[in-house]
Amino acid sequence: MEQAIGVFDSGIGGLTVLKAIKKQLPHENLIYLGDTARVPYGNKSKDNIIRYSIENTQFLLKHNIKILVVACNTSTAISLNILKEKFAIPILGVIEPGARRALEVTRSGRIGIIGTEATIKSGAYVRVLKDMRKDVIVFSKACPLFVPVVEEGLTNGKIAEEIVKHYLESFNTHFIDTMILGCTHYPLLKGLIKEYFKGSVKVVDSANETAKAVKELLENNRMLNYAKSDGISKFFVTDAAERFLKIGKTILGSSMEEVQLVTVEK
């Protein structure tokens, strides 16, 4: 099927998921929406997060997508079940794939989760982890400054290092062996996070695991694009297109050539 895979996030972080999907499924067409006018979602009310998620989905459906990937942990935590009830196409989130991977790699069963305020407050990761393994011990922390740091392109240097230290030092007393990056922006700080733990903690982001889940869904439903040429990717944002393009190129490289500015609000 030549129809595209739709992907949305509150901003630029979901490009980590799109990149992983492109690697797993190079022949698939992709359409990405970054809701940069309303980023971050993590400090917004539940009702607004649901409304944003519905509007983003409706926009992507106008482009005749075949499946939807909610590449935003906050939207996944708050809105995924509502989106699945409201829309007829297959919809995947990023929480379950990341949680499953964390349980595969942990030895002690002591897992840390960092995410936005809304994701952590929702308890979504804890519920999913406990459903999969009852005896897992979970420590959660909201890291609200990580998203603006990434959106501003400040992923290296003293500012990012100090913010990473500020949020992660409380985990030193919890003796975790695995950390879930519970926001798709956070993999862009993965190097600093791994450096902080000095190799003692396995760092899990959901991008690769979500891409595997997308591939499995397409295969099981016979929805793969069997074209031999590389797929086409289109990018849309709701604000700050030039900045998105600049930072996006550092993530995706030369494959990102153009970003279109759109409105998704009704």
- For residue 8, give the 3-state DSSP assignment: strand
d(CA 106, CA 151): 30
For 84, counting Cβ atoms within 10 Å of its Cβ (0-12 exposed, 13-18 middle, 19+ buried), the class is middle
Whose tokens are 């040429």? That residue is 229
Whose tokens are 């050539």? That residue is 257
Q: Output the CA torsion sign for 95, 33, 241, 51.
A: negative
d(CA 187, CA 218): 25
d(CA 171, CA 129): 18
Q: Among 71, 72, 138, 163, which one carries the catalytic annotation?
A: 72
Q: Among 5, 33, 147, 183, which one carries the catalytic annotation?
A: 183
- DSSP for residue 131: H
Q: Which amino acid is located at 122 in the chain?
A: S
For residue 200 the two structure tokens come to 């003692």
Residue in 1, 42, 47, 29 with CA at minimum distance from that of residue 184: 42
Confirm whether 143 is a catalytic residue.
Answer: no
Confirm whether 72 is a catalytic residue.
Answer: yes
Asked if 20 and 210 count as a contact pair (C-beta separation under 8 A), the reply is yes
- Catalytic positions are 72, 183
